[in-house]
Amino acid sequence: MIEIRKLSKWYGDTAVLRDCDLSIRKGEVVVVCGPSGSGKSTLLQCINGLEPFQQGDVVVDGIHVARAGRALPRLRARLGMVFQRFELFPHLDVMDNLCLAQRRVLGRTQGASEDKARVLLDRVGLSEHAGKYPAQLSGGQQQRVAIARALCMDPICMLFDEPTSALDPEMIGEVLEVMNQLAADGMTMVVVTHEMGFAHRIAHRVVFMDGGRILEDTETAAFFSAPQTERARLFLSRILSH
């Protein structure tokens, strides 16, 4: 479904991704972890066409992202992106946040968009909040709205960039529960996170990055029981001790 080959990216003279290779199959849940500044978020943004890259290739469902051109907005819609900071439109209520891209990108009618939005708001447990504005919601509720908004576009894969890092501890569980359910339903997911408990329970594979490189790409149980690199062992020992 997603093929990344020899992906490299620089900001000026600074390399942020170096020769990254990664394959994601339909129905897989892949957690990407590593220290801050290791290139995790940039990798996701290159998959989604939000960041250009200088070398390599990213192919999503047969489409070369770098050559998508005018088809890029529709391709992005098929890759539901959930950001750390929610990225909801503050001047729109929840229903309009969920309907806007459906109408503009997918060409759905307002009625069809609202029908879809209601189904997804119910799925994330927020049906009664359709008329509220983002500022009237908790952080956990806003992130669940963001997930519902992405799902409204019928994505083939969901990309999560540190979806719980901006949340208070008591709100993290409600967002992870929605993600757990998506995984159980067979949604393909790529998740950048430090939530190692979530990774251990849900991920099929763990990708460990450092210095812009993918140092490990292995089955979850193997990663947690016997990391292949000293850098991954150090990372795990530090993060699991907190």
Is 189 or 169 the better-scoring residue by pLDDT? 189
Going by C-alpha positions, the residue among 46, 48, 59, 64 that lies closest to residue 10 is: 46
- Strands of 2-11's sheet in order across: 14-24, 2-11, 55-60, 63-64
In a domain, 11, yes or no: yes
Q: Is 174 a member of any domain?
A: yes
C-alpha dist (Å) from residue 195 to 50, 201, 210, 242: 24, 10, 17, 11
Does 169 have pLDDT greater than 90?
A: no
Is residue 215 in a domain?
A: yes
Global confidence as pTM: 0.93
Q: Give the domain extent around 64.
A: 2-87+156-240
In a domain, 42, yes or no: yes
Given this model, what pLDDT does residue 191 score? Answer: 97
Asked if the structure places residue 124 within a domain, the reply is no
Per-residue pLDDT tens over the stretch 117-164:
999 999 999 999 999 999 999 999 999 999 999 999 999 999 999 999
Q: Is 225 within the bounds of a domain? A: yes
Quickly count: other Cβ atoms within 10 Å of residue 139's Cβ: 18
Q: pLDDT tens-digit profile of 183-222?
A: 999 999 999 998 898 999 999 999 999 999 999 999 999 9
pLDDT single digits (tens) 25-71: 999 999 999 999 899 999 999 999 999 999 999 999 888 998 888 88
Asked if residue 143 belongs to a domain, the reply is no
Which of 1-10, 214-223, 231-240 has the lowest average pLDDT? 231-240
pLDDT tens string 66-111: 888 888 888 888 899 999 888 899 999 999 999 999 999 899 999 9
103, burial (CB in 10 Å: exposed 0-12, middle 13-18, buried 19+): middle
pLDDT of 242: 60
CATH number at residue 162: 3.40.50.300
Residue 141 located in a structural domain: no
Total domains, the chain: 1
Predicted confidence at residue 74, as pLDDT, reads: 80
Q: Write down the pLDDT at residue 86.
A: 84
Both structure tokens of 107: 């060409």
In the predicted structure, residue 241 carries a pLDDT above the cut 90: no
> Other CB atoms closer than 10 Å to residue 203's CB: what's the count?
26
* Mean of pLDDT values over 16-26: 96
Q: Residue 46 in contact with residue 57, Cβ under 8 Å? A: no
